[in-house]
Amino acid sequence: MSSDTARPRAAVVGLGARARLFTQALAGPYADRFELAGFCDVNPHRMAVHNTWLAEHHPGRTPVPTYLAEDFDEMLRRERIDLVVVCSVDRTHDHYIVRALEAGCDVVTEKPMTTDADKARRILDAQRRTGRDVRVAFNYRYNPVHSAVRELVASGEIGEVGSVHFEWLLDLRHGADYFRRWHRDKVNSGGLMVHKATHHFDLVNWWLGTRPESVYAQGGLFFYGDEAGRRRGLARDYHRAHGSPAAGSDPFAVHLADSPLLSALYLNAEAHDGYHRDQNVFAPGVTIEDDMAVLVRYATGATLTYHLTAYSPWEGYRIAFNGSAGRLELLVEESTWTRPRMPTNGSDPVLHGAEADDTAGRTELLLRRFWEKPREIEVATGEGGHGGGDVRMLQDLFGTRAPDPLHRAADATDGARSLVTGLAANHSFETGLPVRTGDLLEF
Ligand SMILES: NC(=O)c1ccc[n+]([C@@H]2O[C@H](COP(=O)([O-])OP(=O)(O)OC[C@H]3O[C@@H](n4cnc5c(N)ncnc54)[C@H](O)[C@@H]3O)[C@@H](O)[C@H]2O)c1
């Protein structure tokens, strides 16, 4: 930690959409605790956009110094960085986490912590070697309804948990978004078993207080991609929507020019890196799955049956815990239906989770103890992104840390424990066989 300033100095790597949560927090409510002192990205335009946003919210503020990716180490040195927040493309997380730890910094990384077992081992080794902190931004742990589930399970209300049944649906807006940009290539994201399900596998590890031991999975590309799109007559003939007449009638197209936010962050930044945020979900090149079924066995003996679908008419999840004294059921409808095209009123057409969806429906947590009438558990829904999880997580990451009986702070081991279920599922997709997680990653 630098000695000549009272406030630790923070840098953010990867100045895309998600980074905004962190840049605004560090320059806003947590500015008295941290100095936002560096931006690093392959794309100078996106860093400039974040500086413009900061200036809009904080007139007179000096722009944050910007560094290109190859100058990351120099940024750490020159700006005397103490904390690095990693929000770049998933496949690059390990590089920045390890370099930052070796330079003596603490790290907050977006999920997934990384995308394969070798990278996870490098992170775990670097963390142990340096003794610095790695926090994984599992914001779903901070959603009040998920905290209530943890409390109920830990309190023994349903006894010992024998099994969990968990279905997560991504709607045609949010689910499709993973097929429009870098996530569609498994090398970048690890596929949805890693990129998306890492949240869900982490929740189950945390709720049950255990770790996965074996995984069997089946998954495939059922709906998106060129072959399925052609077969069902859904595919239009274009590569990316912007400037393509064929995209005009495609309900799956995202039109960057309709949104000031997406134009600023992506369309106007393309000259620097050719990143197209609006690719055709039915164009060739998709190497990830959109329909995945997973069976996990945990160290406690509990099992999980999990299903992730990325082409659903509504978005949300159903979870049931079967216990030796009863059953706990959760239903969350994050969106009840999907609009074919977002209004062109400047609202964001695709970015998910920044705020509650205006098509959101019920949240219902039901406790069904043996021999008793079902009891609905009232939970105050949180304001802000991800059911209020984002705001609470920021407080835990950057605010005064209070003792947390729920143990919501996730470290590198939690990141690896969640990752390994997804990696094992990916492996099982390929081989058709069950996978022992210890054969992939020991922790
Ligand atoms: N916890 C959540 O709810 C949540 C939500 C959204 C995104 N995320 C995570 O945040 C991260 C960013 O996602 P996003 O939606 O903002 O994506 P994005 O595409 O908007 O931003 C990614 C940024 O990384 C930059 N980048 C690419 N290669 C780089 C490199 N080699 N070095 C440095 N920067 C590089 C890009 O230029 C871009 O600015 C991902 O890891 C994603 O999983 C988490």
Residue 137 Cβ inside 6 Å of ligand 1? The answer reads yes
Distance, CA of 391 to CA of 398 (rounded, Å): 11
Amino acid 377: pLDDT: 97
Rg for the chain (alpha carbons), in Å?
A: 22
Packing angle, helices 117-130 and 93-102, rounded to 10: 10
Atom of ligand 1 nearest to the CA of 386: 3
Residue 8: cis peptide before it, omega within 30 degrees of 0: no
- Predicted pLDDT at 358: 79
Supply 390's token pair: 């984002």
What is the layout of strands, in order, in the sheet containing 106-109? Answer: 66-68, 35-41, 9-13, 83-86, 106-109, 134-136
* Mean per-residue pLDDT, 403-421: 97
Distance from C-alpha of 83 to C-alpha of 398, rounded to nearest angstrom: 10
- Secondary structure letter of residue 371 according to DSSP: T
pLDDT at res. 442 = 87
Q: What is the mean pLDDT of residues 37-62?
A: 97
Q: Which atom of ligand 1 lies at the shortest distance from residue 15's CA?
A: 39
- Angle, helices 19-27/389-398, rounded to nearest 10 degrees: 50
CA 175 to ligand 1 centroid distance, Å:
17
Q: For residue 209, what pLDDT is reported?
A: 97
Residues 73 and 78: their CA atoms lie apart, in Å, by: 9
**Sign for the pseudo-dihedral over CA of 17, 22, 28, 31:** negative
Q: What is the pLDDT of residue 382?
A: 65
Q: Please return the burial class of 401, using the count of CB atoms within 10 Å of its CB with bins 0-12, 13-18 and 19+.
A: exposed
pLDDT given for residue 343 in this prediction: 47
For residue 368, give the nearest of 309, 328, 413, 426 by alpha carbon. Answer: 328
The reply to whether ligand 1 has any atom less than 6 angstroms from the CB of 24 is no
In the structure, what pLDDT confidence band is assigned to residue 354 with cuts at 50, 70 and 90?
low
From the CB of 377, is ligand 1 less than 6 Å away? no
| pTM for the model | 0.96
Helix (H) or strand (E) holding 271: helix 270-273
Confidence at 443, pLDDT banded by 50, 70, 90: confident
CA–CA distance, 33 with 7 (Å, rounded to integer): 6
Cα–Cα distance, 99 to 114 (Å, whole number) = 14
Q: What is the pLDDT of residues 109-140, one digit of tens each?
A: 999 999 999 999 999 999 999 999 999 999 99
Q: What distance in Å separates the CA atoms of residue 317 and residue 169, rounded to the nearest whole number?
A: 6
Residue 320 pLDDT: 98
- Using the predicted structure, report yes or no on whether residue 149 has a pLDDT greater than 90: yes
The domains of the chain, with CATH numbers, are: 9-136 (3.40.50.720), 140-224+286-389+402-439 (3.30.360.10), 226-273 (no CATH)
Across 213-230, average pLDDT: 98
1 pLDDT more than 70: no
Task: Tell me: pLDDT of 346 over 50.
Answer: no
**What's the average model confidence in pLDDT over 90-105?**
98
Give the residue-averaged pLDDT of 327-351: 75
pLDDT of residue 355: 61
Q: Give yes or no for residue 42 CB within 6 A of ligand 1.
A: yes
**386: pLDDT confidence band, cut at 50, 70 and 90?**
confident
Q: Is the CB of 13 under 6 A from ligand 1?
A: yes
Percentage above 90 pLDDT, the chain:
90
Closest by Cα among 67, 216, 138 to 393: 138
Ligand 1 geometric centre to CA of 176 (Å): 17
Evaluate: CB of 198 within 6 angstroms of ligand 1: no
Mutation choice for ligand 1 from 13, 15, 18, 24, CB with most ligand atoms inside 8 A: 18
Q: What is the pLDDT of residue 357?
A: 74
Pair of tokens at residue 299: 């160290």
Q: Does 87 sit in the ligand 1 pocket, CB within 6 Å? A: yes
Give 345's pLDDT tier (boundaries 50, 70, 90): very low
CA-nearest residue for atom 28, ligand 1, is 89
Q: In testing the pocket of ligand 1, which one of 12, 22, 24, 41 has its CB within 8 Å of the most ligand atoms?
A: 41
* Residue 293 or residue 360, greater confidence: 293
Q: Whose CA is nearest to atom 36 of ligand 1?
A: 14
